[in-house]
C-alpha cells in the first residue's frame, strides 16, 4: 500500500506524474508477510519485484538497487521468524534472535566469527557470546529524507513500529539502519543496538569488505549515536556495520 502525496499532469498534459510513499503500517506489513510466506512455493518475490520495477514505464527503480536489498533483508527476517512452517499461526513470536536473522541473511552460521572491532571487555569473544541475548524485529521500511532522522533518539520510534530506516539521500555514508535490543526485549537507551548497512549496484563492490567505506560508516561521525560518553547507568551501544 502506498500513499499519494502529489499528482500533476506531465508533458503536454498527456500523462499524470505521481509522488507516493509507503506509510508505516506494521500490522498490514505483517499480514502481507504471512500471506507471502505461506505461498512461498508458488510466489517468487524477486521475480515479482523485477516485473514491477522493469515492467512499467516511469517507475523509480532507485539508484542503488535498494529495493532488491530490502527484499533480501525482509526475506531473511521472514525465514528467521517463520522458519519451516507451512502455516503461520497467530501465536508466533515476532521478536527473534539477531543471530538467526544473520544466519538466514548470509545462509551461513556466523556465530563463531569474531568482530573486527570490539569493546575491550569483548576482545577475543565470538559473536554468539557477545550477542547471545540480542533480538530484533522489523517487517517494513520507512524512507527518511533528513540525516537527523537516523539519530538514536528517533530510532526508538522506528523500533517500536517494527520499522527499518532507509536513507533516501544517496550521498550519506549509510543506506539503512536496523535496530535490535541487546540485553532483553525492553526498548530503552542502554539496551539499543544498531546495524548500519549499505547497498550498491556497482559491480566493483563484491563480497570483500572495503575498509574505507567501513570507516566512513562510523555511527558517531554520522550522528547516529551521541558523541558524548554514556552515563554511569548506561551501557554502550552495540553496533554492527555491513
pLDDT in tens, 15-29: 677 777 777 889 889
Report CA 221 to chain centroid distance, whole Å. Answer: 20
pLDDT at 171: 65
To the nearest whole percent, how much of the chain has pLDDT over 90?
A: 19
Residue 36: CB atoms within 10 A of its CB come to 15
pLDDT (tens digit per residue) in 43-83? 888 898 999 888 887 788 887 888 999 999 999 999 999 98
pLDDT at 197: 92
Contact, 172 vs 165, CB < 8 A?
no
pLDDT at 233: 44
* Residues listed for the chain: 242
Strands (E), the chain: 3-9, 16-21, 96-97, 135-136, 140-144, 163-167, 176-181, 192-197, 238-241
Higher pLDDT, 9 or 163: 163
Contact, 166 vs 144, CB < 8 A?
yes
pLDDT (tens digit per residue) in 140-173? 999 888 888 888 888 888 988 999 999 887 667 8
Q: Which long-range contacts (CB under 8 A, 24 or more apart) does 115-121 make?
A: 115/240, 116/214, 119/236
Mean pLDDT of the chain: 82
Higher pLDDT, 192 or 142: 142
CB contact set of 183 (below 8 Å; sequence gap of 6+): 133, 190, 191, 235
Rg (CA), the chain: 19
**pLDDT score of 230 more than 60:** no
Supply 12's cell numbers.
Answer: 503536454
**pLDDT score of 224 more than 50:** yes
**pLDDT score of 13 more than 70:** no
Amino acid at each position: 500500500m502506498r500513499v499519494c502525496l502529489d499528482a500533476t499532469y506531465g508533458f503536454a498534459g498527456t500523462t499524470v506524474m505521481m509522488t507516493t510513499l509507503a506509510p508505516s503500517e506494521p500490522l498490514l506489513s505483517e499480514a502481507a508477510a504471512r500471506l507471502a510466506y505461506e505461498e512461498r512455493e508458488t510466489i517468487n518475490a524477486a521475480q515479482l519485484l523485477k516485473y514491477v520495477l522493469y515492467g512499467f514505464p516511469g517507475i523509480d527503480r532507485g539508484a542503488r538497487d535498494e529495493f532488491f536489498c530490502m527484499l533480501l533483508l525482509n526475506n531473511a527476517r521472514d525465514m528467521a521468524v517463520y522458519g519451516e512452517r507451512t502455516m503461520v499461526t497467530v501465536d508466533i513470536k515476532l521478536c527473534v534472535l539477531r543471530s538467526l536473522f544473520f544466519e538466514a541473511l548470509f545462509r551461513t552460521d556466523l556465530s563463531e566469527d569474531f568482530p573486527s572491532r570490539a569493546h575491550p571487555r569483548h576482545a577475543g569473544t565470538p559473536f554468539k557470546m557477545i550477542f547471545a541475548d540480542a533480538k530484533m524485529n522489523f517487517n517494513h521500511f520507512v524512507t527518511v529524507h533528513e540525516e537527523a532522522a537516523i539519530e538514536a533518539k528517533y530510532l526508538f520510534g522506528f523500533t517500536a513500529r517494527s520499522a527499518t530506516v532507509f536513507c533516501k539521500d544517496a550521498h550519506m555514508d549509510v543506506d539503512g539502519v536496523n535496530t535490535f535490543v541487546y540485553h532483553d526485549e525492553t526498548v530503552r537507551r542502554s539496551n539499543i543496538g544498531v546495524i548500519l548497512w549499505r547497498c550498491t549496484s556497482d559491480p566493483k563492490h563484491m563480497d570483500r569488505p572495503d575498509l574505507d567505506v567501513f570507516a566512513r560508516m562510523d555511527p558517531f561521525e554520522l550522528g547516529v549515536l551521541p558523541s558524548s560518553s554514556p552515563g554511569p547507568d548506561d551501557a554502550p551501544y552495540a553496533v554492527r556495520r555491513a
